[in-house]
Structures are given as structure tokens and as C-alpha cells.
Amino acid sequence: MSGIEFIKACSAIGAGLAMIAGIGPGIGQGFAAGKGAEAVGRQPEAQSDIIRTMLLGAAVAETTGIYGLIVALILLFANPFI
């Protein structure tokens, strides 16, 4: 196996490992959605406000996952090591 092929193989593995970051946003968004459902159950008349706040929080929680996705995309399509 030549050097370039080795780097490519390792980059593919690294991209897969980078996507483990998806666990964090999954937990965070699930928590936000659960709390949102609780809040709607307690106060159904404030539903639109609750949903808006929940979506905003979920989108902010998603940021770390997106960083992982960007690292994976850079490793796959714009590899700095080759």
C-alpha cells in the first residue's frame, strides 16, 4: 500500500469517527423535545411560543454535531493531508 492510499484509508476512518459527534446533539435535541412536550402538556395555550423556543434551542444544540460533520466532509472531499 502506497503512502497516499494509506492516508486516504485513514481519512475515511477518521471521517467515520468524527461523526460520533452526532451522539451529543441527539441527546441534546431529544432532551429539548421532551421538555417541550412537558411544557405543552402543562400549558397548551402557550404552544406556539414553546415550539419556537424549543426549535431555537434544538438548533443551537445541533452546532457541535455540525462541527463534526464539517470535519468529516473536509476529510472526505477536501483532504488537507494529500
Shortest gap between Cβ of 69 and another protein (angstroms)? Answer: 5
Shortest gap between Cβ of 58 and another protein (angstroms)? Answer: 9
Comparing CA positions, the residue from 25, 8, 13 lying closest to residue 72 is 13
Using CB under 8 A, count the residues that bind another protein: 14
The region, left, alpha or beta by phi > 0 then psi within -120 to 50, assigned to residue 66 is alpha
Segment 5-64, which members bind another protein (CB under 8 A)? Answer: 52, 55-56, 59-60, 62-63
| Cell triple for 16 | 467515520
| Residues within the interface to another protein (CB under 8 A) | 52, 55-56, 59-60, 62-63, 66-67, 69-70, 73, 76-77
